[in-house]
Amino acid sequence: MSTQYVERVIEDPFGQACKVTVNLGESPLAWLHARGHLSERHYAAGDMLRADWEKAGLGARVTMRWDATPAQGAAGGGKADPTLAQLSARERFAGAIRAAGPGLADILWRVACAGEGLVAAERALGWPSRAGKLVLTLALERVAGWYRVR
């Protein structure tokens, strides 16, 4: 199987559009979609959830923050204020996770956001084999409705 790359335009934390190359084979959702296990609607909903998770800055940091340190006595205890885009993305992400519901959100987050494979997510949750795909599909259906994906 050959690796497929696509060009996408994303918005950086400063609101500037930039073009990036994405390897579609790296995402577990893309892998499931490419093999016919997820519909276009479910894939789009999962991708929107992942994009909101990333834009909200909810993932673990693996490097040092290089943004300017706020001045002494700045409001918020010295922490930089999140941007409006981050706050909006955080609200959308929280709404989508609530829409998925308890019991479904776990595998949804693991596969769509954390990038875990379906088998690894099933093992981590203590589920039987092949249960994850069904539960993930149910969660993506709810999230697609929440995001109003057609």
Instruction: Convert the pLDDT of each residue in 56-110 to its tens digit.
Output: 888 766 666 666 665 555 554 545 567 888 999 999 999 999 999 999 999 999 9
**Are residues 108 and 6 in contact, defined by beta-carbon separation less than 8 angstroms?**
no
Q: If DSSP codes are grouped into helix, strand and coil, which group holds residue 20? A: strand
The mean predicted confidence, pLDDT, of the chain is 83
CA dist 45 to 3, 34, 109, 140, Å? 23, 15, 12, 6
CA dist 145 to 21, 25, 44, 51, 59, Å? 28, 26, 11, 17, 24
**Are residues 150 and 116 in contact, defined by beta-carbon separation less than 8 angstroms?**
no
User: If pLDDT is split at 50, 70 and 90, which confidence band does 115 have?
Assistant: confident
Q: Which of 18, 32, 17 is nearest to 107 (CA)?
A: 32
**pLDDT higher at 25 or 129:** 129
Note the pLDDT of residue 1. 46
pLDDT tens, residue by residue, 41-52: 999 999 999 999
